[in-house]
Amino acid sequence: MPAAPDPATPAERDLELAADQAIQTCGGDAREAVKALLVAIDFLEAEANELRAAVSKGYSRGRHGLLHERKE
Question: In degrees rounded to 5, what are phi and psi of residue 7?
Answer: -70, -20
Residue type, 23: I
pTM above 0.85, yes or no: no
CA distance linking residue 67 with residue 38, whole number of Å: 17
Give how many domains the chain has, as a whole number. 1
Domain span at 31: 9-60
- Helix count and strand count (H, E) for the chain: 3, 0
Q: Give me the pLDDT at residue 12, please.
A: 87
Q: Give me the pLDDT at residue 11, please.
A: 86
CA distance linking residue 69 with residue 49, whole number of Å: 10
Provide the 10 A C-beta neighbour count for residue 53. Answer: 10
For 6-57, the pLDDT digits (tens) are: 656 888 899 999 999 999 999 999 999 999 999 999 999 999 999 888 887 7
Task: Judge whether 47 lies within some domain.
Answer: yes
Task: Judge whether 46 lies within some domain.
Answer: yes
Q: Give me the pLDDT at residue 52, please.
A: 84
Task: Judge whether 25 lies within some domain.
Answer: yes
